[in-house]
Amino acid sequence: MPTIQLQAEVSRDALLEAVGQLSPPELDQFVAEVLQLRSRRGPTRLGATESELLARINQGFPEGLRDRYDELIARRRGESLTPEEHQELLRLTAEAERLEAERLAALAELARIRGVPLRSLMDDLGIPAPSDG
């Protein structure tokens, strides 16, 4: 880990100048740690844009559709899916993918607004990385 020489009393400007000496990966890690420190100090008031993005991020697949989607997946695995059900499954899959793309776009926008890497934001929000499959 690199060390940065600092005086005993450091102004905010001097601290910012010292942080500016970090390499990009070190700066990303530092920013993530500062954000974690900030989050431990208590809730912050979110702006309207961040609140709207968080609402979009937390909006899941509607429960009724999720249940039907899971049912159709089970029928497909059991090789008992009718042609009509197959078409319905394709429609629900497209809808799930559309919603997930919107969620990812909202995550990326929130990360941009906060000035943090997407992976760090996802970790902070407790959102697991997508699985292969």
Give the range among 33-37, 92-96, 101-105, 127-131 with minimum mean pLDDT.
Answer: 33-37
78 contacts: CB under 8 Å, gap ≥ 6: none
Residue 24 is predicted with a pLDDT of 74
Greater model confidence, 64 or 93: 93
Closest CA to 6 of 18, 22, 23: 18
Mean pLDDT for the chain? 84
Tens of pLDDT, residues 44-90 = 667 889 989 998 998 888 888 899 999 999 999 999 999 999 999 99
| Percentage of the residues of the chain whose pLDDT score is greater than 90 | 43
Question: 78: which DSSP letter?
Answer: T
| CA 96 from centroid of its chain's CA atoms | 17
* pTM flag (> 0.75): no
Tens of pLDDT, residues 9-26 = 777 787 778 888 888 777
Going from the C-alpha of 59 to that of each of 25, 35, 67, 128, the distances in angstroms are: 32, 24, 16, 15
Residue 18 is predicted with a pLDDT of 83
Q: What is the CA radius of gyration of the chain?
A: 22
Residue 5 is predicted with a pLDDT of 64
Is the model's pLDDT at 41 over the cut of 70? Answer: no
121 class by beta-carbon count within 10 Å (0-12 exposed, 13-18 middle, 19+ buried):
buried
